[in-house]
Structure 1
Amino acid sequence: MTEYAVALQKAVADRTAIDALDVPDLPTAYAVQRELRDAAGPLVGWKLGVTSRAKQAQVGVSSPVFGFLAGANALDIGEPLATSELIQPRCEPEIVFVLGRDLAGPHVTAADVIAASSGVAVGIEVLDSRYRDYKFTMADVVADNTSAGRFVVGTPVPAAGIDLRLVGVVLEKNGELVATASGAASLGHPAAAVAWMVRTMAADGEGLSAGDVVLSGGLTAAVPVAPGDVVVATIDRLGTLELGCS
């Protein structure tokens, strides 16, 4: 295992942030991420990051990035987030796709993603960068599995008839409004972000499998959380999801 992967695993185990690793480039970063994936146990899906055009311009990249979701990091509805298990947790709302059938190939479109999905749901992703103060390069964050921490997914609903570009998104913390957005905040359409990921995965002979959960990208800025906090994400037509922190 590379020194990058070892350093990131140690940060997780120690629950202590480290300085950015200065991973040289994205191909190296994805190779490090694959090492972590191989050691993570059963996977339940995938996640996207840097899906907003504004964020891409801010960090100087022209496409999103992606990481994996380990089953061990899934929270059940109503299960509290144990903040002591993490380093510097932050929560953000997501539109989540649940795959009803396998999906792979270099020409997958957003329409293909919707057709292959058995449902869509509101989700809350808990980010937890292993780098001190969330300061990193794009290659660093990809190696760190795009800051994956924990995640919780609401009850899926059929995607038919829902324009996921236009659904309103509200994030609340302790009863106060934190941020609002629309589904279009993720690459213009959340399914387009997932389609990009599938096309990119095809170069390595990979794809999505039936039953996979896909977090299609944060729709607002992520909010820091601590014990006692309650975060609520509401997305029109998809529902409301609450996450308490202990």
Structure 2
Amino acid sequence: MASLALGIAAGTTNAAFSTLCRTPNYRRPSRRLRISCVGWDPEGILGRPQTGHIARREFQRRLEKDADAREAFEQEIREEKRRREALRLSRVIPDTAAELIEYFLDTEAQELEFEIARLRPRLNEEFFAQIKFELGQLRFAVNKTEDMEDRLIELEALEKAIQEGIEAYDKMEGDLIKAKGSLTKILTSKDLKATLLDMVEKNEINRSLLALLDENIASANRNDQKEAAAFMEKLRGAMLKYITV
């Protein structure tokens, strides 16, 4: 039997972090908040970028028809993943709350979710007290400069993004703890069908449990545990019949 995966998948909190990019009149003279697009099209194969569901479907159809475009797209995704992993390894975690604010302000929008998960214990009362202290100084300054106005916008957006990110992360972590217990119960059950039916009655078969099972299947495949992976694939099919959330 494959060992139960302990890794935590990234939470879906992109809406919270996009606040940093949507703030009206937002300017960053001293820092770069870079958004890297994975829809890379250097040769103009796919035409001008578009938004919306219809545009995404058209983009998908073009990728399916054009092997070169698909390979370019997948290559860009791989390169972006390597770039982000290298960036994570290169960053030094600061010691003080004030430095941690600057650390988050210098964090790319796509990486905020990861950094919130990694630094969750540091995002405490001391951290938010430092943000509020700096916000108070800026809001009640007698002679505000343009840089001070920019800083105020940055800090307000950052505070909101981190608060929403923490809320999403804490909920995800709670769901994962429950899912780990449920998956352990299933994998150690002597009567799998009875266990699944019992869990259905308690509404314990959900998407969080399915996601954790997928992590275990992927782990088993990486470690060449073919029998365990096959068993869990079969289990996944059975769970899909009962999934409610």
Please classify the TM superposition score into its range, dividing by the shorter chain length.
Answer: under 0.3
TM-score, normalising length from structure 2?
A: 0.22
Q: State the TM-score, normalizing by the size of structure 1.
A: 0.22
In terms of Rg, which structure is larger? Answer: 2
Relative to its length, the structure with more helix (as a share) is 2
Greater strand proportion = 1
